[in-house]
Amino acid sequence: MKRWLAVLLPIFVLTTLIAWRINQKRTDAADQAQQRTSRTKAPARASFAVVEVRDIVHTYEATGSVEAPLSVKIAPKMTGRIEYLAVHEGDRVKRGQVLVRIDSSNVEAQVQQQMAAVAEAQYRLAQARLTQNPNDVSVQTQIRQQNAATTSAKADYVQVKVTSEAEIAAALAGLNDATSKIENAQAGINGAQANLDNAKTRYSRVHSLYEKGFVAAQNVDDAKAAVTVQESALQIAQGQLKSATSQREAAGQHHEIAKAKAKADVEASAARLAQAIAALDYAQANTAQKSAYRESIAALQASVDAARASLASAQSARSDTVLISPLDGYVTGRLADPGAIASPSQPVISVQFTRQIWVTAAVPEDVCARLHIGQLAQISLDAFGDRRFTASIIQINPSADPQSRQFTVRVILSNPDNALKPGMFGRVKFVTQTFAGVNVVPREAVQIGKDGQFVMTVDSRQNAMRMPVTVTAEDENYVCIGSALKPGDKVVTLSAMPIREGQKVMPAQPVIPAKAGIHLPARPGMGGRGGAR
C-alpha cells in the first residue's frame, strides 16, 4: 500500500502543476488580448519633427599628402672635389645663400688664360684701327680732289663749247655783214645809213657777248671798226664798195679760222675732261682698300668677341663651382660631405620651400567636374587632431590617371610657422554641391514602402496621414523632400509600433525644432570615407 502511495503521490502533484500552468497561460493570453485591443483603440505614441528650411551641402573627403610646392635637388655642373659644405638637414637657408663650394683651381687658371687672350686680341684690333684711319683719310681726299677736278673739267668743256660756237657765229655774221655792206654800198647813201645802223646793232650784240664772256675782245674791236667803216661809208659810198669787198674777204678768212680754233679748243677740253674722269675712277677704285681694311677690322673684332665669349664661358664655369640656394626654405637632404667628389649626376643638397605647402589628393571624375580653381577646402591632419586648416584649390589636373581613373587636385595653404611638414598624411574635404533654402526633414522620418518613399505627417487633429515624397538631396542628418510639405508641418520620426493612416498620434516627447542655419556635416565621409552623398 505504501508502495502505491509513493507512486501515485508524485503523479498527482505533477498533474496539479500542469493544470495550474495551463490555466495561468490562458489567463495571460486573455490579458494580452485585452491589452492589444486597448492599444489598438488608444492613440499611438511617437516622436515628431517639423519641416524646416535649411541648406543641404554635399561634400567629398579624399585622402591626400602634404607636399612642398618647390623642391630642388642641387647638383654641380662639373665634377670636382667638395671644399665647403656647412648646412645639414633641417637648417633654414635663404635664397642666394652659398651652400657648397667645389675646388676651382683648374677653372681659375682657365679664366686667367682667357683674360690674356682677350687682351691680346684687343691689342691687335687697336693697331689695325690706328692704320685704318690715315688710309681712309687719304682715299677720301683723293676722291674729293678728283671729283672737284672732274667738275671743273666739265664746266670748262661746256664753256669752251659755248665760246667756240659764239666765235663761229660771230665770224659767220661778219662774213654775211660784209656781203650785205657790198650790196648796200651799191644802193647808195640810204644803203650806207642802213649798213651803219646794222653795224651798230652788231656792235651792241658782240659787246654784250663779250661782257658775258662768250666772245673775245677782238670780235668787239672788229664790230667797232665796222661801225666806223659804215660811218665813213655814209660820206663816201663809192669808196665803201671796195672796202666792203676787202672786208668780205677778211670775214671769210676769219670765219674759217674761228671754226678751226673752236674745233681744237673743244677737242682739248674734252681730252681734259676724259683725263679728269679717268683720275676720278682711279681714286674711287682705291676705295677697295677701305673694304679690305674693314674686313680685316671685322675679323679682328670677331677675334675679340670670341676671346670674350671664351672668357665669359670660363667665368661661368668658375661661378658653377659655387652652389647657391635658389629659394628660401629648409635643407631636407645632405647627400655628400666635404672632401667627396661631386658630379653632375649626383645631387649634393636638397632644399624645399615650405612657407606655403600643397596637399595633393585624387578625386573621381564626377567630383572633379564640380571643383574649380580658387575653391575653398578644409584640411585635417592626423598630427593635429581636431584642428582644421582652410586651403584653396590651386591646380586641377585635366588628365586622369590611367590606372586609377582619378584626377589629381592640389590645394595650397600658408605655413608661416613651418608646422606642416612635407610627407604628412591628411584628409581634404571639398564642397561639391549646395542646395540652398530647401525643405528638409530628419533622415529617420523617411520610410520606404511598396509604392516608394513616404513620411507620416500629423494634421491639426493629431491624425496620421501618409504623404509620398521624393528625396532630391540629402546629407548625413537631413533629406530634402521638395515641396510635398510646407515648413512647420509635423512628421513622425520614431514610434514604438507602426502607425496606420488616420490613427491618432500623440507626442511621446515635446517637439523641439532644430536650430536654423546652414548645416555642415561634422563627421567626415558622409556615407564612408572618400565617398560623397
CA 444, CA 72: separation in Å to the nearest integer? Answer: 54
Fold of 46-56+436-507: 2.40.420
Which mean pLDDT values do the consecutive 10-residue runs of the chain (533 residues) have? 66 78 80 63 78 88 91 88 89 91 84 87 78 62 76 80 79 76 66 73 80 77 76 65 70 76 78 79 63 74 87 84 89 90 89 91 92 93 88 93 92 89 90 88 88 87 87 86 85 83 77 41 33 35
Question: What CATH code would you report for 70-103+321-350?
Answer: 2.40.50.100
Sheet strand arrangement including 322-324: 322-324, 98-102, 80-85, 341-342
CA 61, CA 94: separation in Å to the nearest integer? Answer: 36
Query: The whole model's pTM is what?
Result: 0.48
Buried b (16+ CB within 10 A) or exposed e, 293-325: beebeeebeebbeebbebbeebeebbebbebeb
pLDDT value at position 244?
65
Fold of 111-289: Helix Hairpins (1.10.287)
Q: Structural domain boundaries of the chain?
A: 46-56+436-507, 60-68+353-433, 70-103+321-350, 111-289
**CA 212 to chain CA mean position, Å:** 75
CATH level 2 (architecture), domain 60-68+353-433: Beta Barrel (2.40)
pLDDT value at position 430?
93
CA 240, CA 229: separation in Å to the nearest integer? Answer: 8
pLDDT value at position 264?
80
Residue 404's region, left for phi above 0, alpha for psi from -120 to 50, else beta, is alpha
pLDDT value at position 234?
63
CB 89 within 8 A of CB 320: no
